[in-house]
Amino acid sequence: MSGPTYLKRVMEGQHDLTDSSIAKFSQALELNSLEAEFFSCLVHFNQARTLDEKDRHFHRLMALKSPHSEHVLEQSQYEYYRDWFNIALREMLAFTPYNGDPAELAKKLSPPVLPKKVKRAMELLESLGLISRGDDGYYRTTDNFILTQPGIESLLLPKFHQSMARLAQEAITRFPKSERYFSGSTVSISEPTYEAIIEIIRSARKDILKRVADDPEPNRVYHLNMQLFPLTALPPKRGRKKK
């Protein structure tokens, strides 16, 4: 290696592994060929700069995953957040009975989704314990929640928000103004004001979710986006003035 502190810098995230150093680490750790490939894929996943790169390496990790590995990203979580309609279908069961015919649910989604995709989505939701079939033959939501592992959030949540952002863009022309709400303000603020605004948004979101929980007769699924993002770069930090 390049020096005695190389490993320390890698472990602290200050230095990325190259393909050459990955091979050296695999040899030093006495990994077999399958373990070495998994290690290499894991390194590339961690060092990926784009979501598409992470997505590609994640699929390879799932293909190489040992059935006894307990600490690798769970594919079921990935599948749940990968397609927006998985979440929408689960919410839809709050007011729409479902007895196994995916065509009925497929035509109620906007934008439309193929019945075969709805069928797979419902099978996924049932396997995750998020819906269950009652004695009357109809599926309903359960009280279970998906808890994402910290390591998976860097892949799942950005892709999920990207998907919802695209749907929001399409909703501007898909729905009349009376059925959707869009509003925005461009402002100049400081870091403390930014933090204060974030707290206001979090508080408003909690109030909204409480009202949602108290709604006795829901009849439609909505998605609420709350976004606050910069349009300019941070100014350079000011150094101390010389006396």
Q: What is the residue extent of each domain of the chain?
A: 6-67, 73-180
The single-letter code of the amino acid at 12 is E
* Element holding 131 (H helix, E strand): strand 131-133
CATH class of 73-180: mainly alpha
Distance (Å) of CA 189 to CA 192, 228, 229, 239: 8, 11, 11, 21
| pLDDT > 80? residue 127 | yes
DSSP string across 58-78: HHHHHHH--TT-SSSPPHHHH
Q: What is the pTM of this model?
A: 0.65
- At 173, the pLDDT band (50, 70, 90 cuts) reads very high
End-to-end Cα separation, the chain, in angstroms: 45
- At 219, the pLDDT band (50, 70, 90 cuts) reads very high
User: For 110-122, what is each residue's pLDDT tens digit?
Assistant: 998 999 999 999 9
- At 159, the pLDDT band (50, 70, 90 cuts) reads confident
What is the token pair recorded at 102? Answer: 């995916």
- At 222, the pLDDT band (50, 70, 90 cuts) reads very high
pLDDT, residue 236, reads: 78
Rounded to whole angstroms, the Cα distance separating 220 from 85 reads 13
10-14, 115-119, 206-210, 234-238: which range is least confident on average?
234-238
Which among 64, 11, 22 is positioned nearest to 44, based on CA atoms? Answer: 22
| pLDDT > 60? residue 202 | yes
Distance (Å) of CA 89 to CA 18, 119, 131, 170, 200: 43, 10, 10, 19, 30
Question: Cβ neighbours of residue 82 under 8 Å, at least 6 residues apart?
Answer: 156, 159
pLDDT greater at residue 198 or residue 10: 198
Q: 100-109, long-range: CB within 8 Å, 24+ apart, which pairs?
A: 100/137, 100/139, 109/85
What is the token pair recorded at 103? Answer: 């065509």
Rounded to whole angstroms, the Cα distance separating 88 from 158 reads 18
- At 59, the pLDDT band (50, 70, 90 cuts) reads confident
- Mean pLDDT throughout 210-216? 89
Which among 2, 160, 173, 200 is positioned nearest to 79, based on CA atoms? Answer: 160
